[in-house]
Amino acid sequence: MVTGLLLGFQWTIVNAQSDSEGFLELFNGKDLSGWVGNKTDYVVEDGVLVIRPDRGGQGNLFTEKEYEDFHFKFDFQLTPGANNGLGIRAPLKGDAAYVGMELQILDNTAEKYANLHEYQYHGSVYGVIAAKRGFLKPVGEWNSEEVIVKGNKVKVILNGHTIVNGDIKKASKNGTKDGKDHPGLLREKGHIGFLGHGSVVKFKNIWIKEL
């Protein structure tokens, strides 16, 4: 059990496991301990975290704890045309793509996404920094991703390839790519979460190390 006190809020991660590199396990493969939010659509099946958007739930699934600078690792499996997102430094309410930051989780190969803006494809900091494409495994196979956030720097590594290595402050200095207001870029800490957009997506091996 790991406990701590954050701004008067007591948080607890039950039976958390850590590895030799100091990463803490965020998903135990059994239940949603340590997570808050949409526990109707997000369920545990055979040791895997799955979003089933037809179950009637609403909202996103977030870590109970907030994080500032971190190294986050997870595996994900897409279904055809899948669309999800990884919210970082986000509050529990509001659109994480704007009030926090959203890193796209998307089936780039789907025909319906052929004409998206560059900042909408997988791994991109939505509306702010475009990711390199061509490194997703075929739909149905498991992908491994790492997200390293330190200060204004965001790095995304997909299947061993760096697809984002940028500075959100510099990237938004003269306005964001989507031309919209992103107050979340100024947040120094927040929750990490999976953002449902109506698609079945699976996750496993979810680990974090605070920097």
The per-residue pLDDT of the chain, averaged, comes to 93
Q: At which residue do the structure tokens 């510099």 appear?
A: 170
What pLDDT sits at residue 20? 64
Q: In whole angstroms, what is the distance from residue 12 CA to residue 16 CA?
A: 9
- Lowest-confidence segment of 7-16, 71-80, 90-99, 193-202 by average pLDDT: 7-16
Q: In whole angstroms, what is the distance from residue 48 CA to residue 67 CA?
A: 23
What pLDDT sits at residue 17? 76
> Is residue 37 over pLDDT 60?
yes
What pLDDT sits at residue 10? 44
DSSP per-residue letters across 16-72: --B-TTS-EES--SS--TTEEE-TTTEEEETTEEEE-GGG---S-EEESS-BSSEEE
Compute the average pLDDT of residues 196-208: 96
pLDDT tens per residue across span 157-182: 999 999 999 999 999 999 999 999 99
- Domains of the chain and any CATH numbers: 2-210 (2.60.120.560)
pLDDT tens per residue across span 105-134: 999 999 999 999 999 999 999 999 999 999
Q: Up-side HSE of residue 116: CA atoms within 13 Å toward CB?
A: 23
> Is residue 11 over pLDDT 80?
no
